[in-house]
Amino acid sequence: MTDVQYPEMRMSVIDALESFADPDYQRRVWINRQFPHANFYDDLDLNVSILYDDCVVVPDPRSRIGTVLVDGPEVDRLIELDQVLDPMISRLGNASDSTYLGDSEWPLVVTAARAALAAMRDI
């Protein structure tokens, strides 16, 4: 495991990125509510909260180096994710998950999340 002060938070970020990176999962779980087991819940808002509020790895991932993140490509990839996700959040606000997933810019979020996830796993 990567040497950071809060490895559990790092795992939460990785889990959120996995959700953002997988459109099939998003449709199955976020839209159709087909949860993998009892007492499980996941949606877009939860994952946004993990990145922006709980772990605060965006919009300024550099501030989390050493605590949640490792300096390097993962920081750059999270900045890129924020550059596509934040404007969408500003534009769509509290719209439904299906509205986000149906937006023409959602594939950019998925691509950026995949790149951030790959960078975090490549440590």
36: three-class secondary structure by DSSP: coil
Which amino acid type is present at position 84? V
| Residues 108, 35, 91, 50, CA torsion sign | negative
CA angle 87, 22, 63 (to 5 degrees): 50
State pLDDT tens for residues 81-112: 999 999 999 999 999 999 999 999 999 999 99
- Would you state the structure tokens that stand for residue 98, as one six-digit string? 């299906």
Q: Which of 62, 59, 63, 70 is nearest to 14 (CA)?
A: 70
Q: What is the pTM of this model?
A: 0.94
Mean pLDDT of the region 4-14? 97
Collapsing DSSP states into helix, strand and coil, what is residue 96? coil
What are residue 65's DSSP bridge partners? Answer: 69
Helix (H, G, I), strand (E, B) or coil at 88: helix
pLDDT tens-digit series, residues 32-82: 999 999 999 999 999 999 999 999 999 999 999 999 999 999 999 999 999
